[in-house]
């Protein structure tokens, strides 16, 4: 049983509150994830919260 307490460092990560697409619920600290690329068209963008980003190994669009 390990607690995963994230350090509250103030990086330039905006803590947005909104709907997380992965667990279908609202959460704070969501980031824009451009997970689905559809060829040359405009890919579908989704938002994911922190836990879901770790769980699914998602990379925020801004961190690429
Ligand atoms: Zn989530």
Residue 10 CA, ligand 1 centroid: distance in Å:
21
At 28 the pLDDT is 93
Spell out the residues 6+ positions from residue 35 whose beta carbon is closer than 8 angstroms to its own: 44, 46, 58
What is the C-alpha to C-alpha distance for residues 22 and 57, in angstroms, rounded to an integer?
12
Give residue-wise pLDDT tens across range 11-26: 555 578 999 999 999 9
At 51 the pLDDT is 95
Q: Are 17 and 28 in contact (CB under 8 A)?
A: yes
Give residue-wise pLDDT tens across range 18-61: 999 999 999 999 998 875 555 656 666 789 999 999 999 988 87
Residue 16 CA, ligand 1 centroid: distance in Å:
13
State the sign of the Cα–Cα–Cα–Cα dihedral 63, 8, 5, 29. negative
At 11 the pLDDT is 55
pTM for the model: 0.59
Residue 23 CA, ligand 1 centroid: distance in Å:
4
Residue 48 CA, ligand 1 centroid: distance in Å:
5
Structure tokens given for 41:
């068209």
Longest dimension (CA), the chain: 45
Residue 18 CA, ligand 1 centroid: distance in Å:
10
């Amino acid at each position: 049983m390990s607690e995963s307490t994230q350090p509250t460092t103030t990086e330039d990560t905006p803590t947005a509150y909104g709907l997380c697409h992965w667990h279908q619920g609202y959460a704070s600290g969501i980031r824009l994830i451009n997970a689905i690329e559809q060829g040359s068209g405009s890919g579908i963008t989704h938002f994911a919260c922190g836990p879901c980003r770790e769980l699914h190994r998602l990379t925020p669009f801004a961190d690429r």
